Structure 1
């Protein structure tokens, strides 16, 4: 009876290794996406600041 047990354990180890590899790939992708979103957030914030500055400058120039 030891052969089926060993076969099952072997299959389970292979499944575990494949799952671990898949989760590692997902984790790497999440880190990449987080970095990308951080960059986009910085760009959006700088655009907001630029638009706010232009609106203040426009009000100042028009005397409002």
Structure 2
């Protein structure tokens, strides 16, 4: 049986090789996660842009409606004054 001092270096080399292999496989898994997160972030960005566009359209329609009501109110006021 070899002396314990002679076994330390081979064991450390073996542990180092196992760690490298483990880190490499973890990195491959993380690469897939990064791609999925990028797709999710892109979808969220598109959703935010759609919400912004919808909000702007709603404000435009509401503003146009309010202007038309003000014009009608002004006409009614003019008719009431003409009486």
Report TM bin, short chain.
0.7 to 0.9
Shift of 1:30: 2.1
Shift of 1:29: 2.1
Query: Is there any run of 5+ residues in structure 2 with no aligned partner, and where?
Result: 65-83
Deviations 1:34-60 (A, max 9, x none): 111111110110000000000111111
TM-score, normalised to structure 2, is 0.64
Say yes or no: does 1:38 pair with 2:38. Answer: yes
Computing the radius of gyration from Cα coordinates, the structure with the larger value is: 2
Q: Figure out how many residues of one structure are paired with residues of the other and give that number.
A: 62
Q: Take 2:52 and 2:37, find their aligned partners in 1: how far apart are those partners?
A: 22
Query: Is there any run of 5+ residues in structure 1 with no aligned partner, and where?
Result: none
RMSD (Å) for aligned C-alpha atoms: 1.6
1:18 is aligned to: 18
Shift of 1:14: 1.0
TM-score, normalised to structure 1, is 0.79
Q: Take 1:50 and 1:6, find their aligned partners in 2: how far apart are those partners?
A: 67
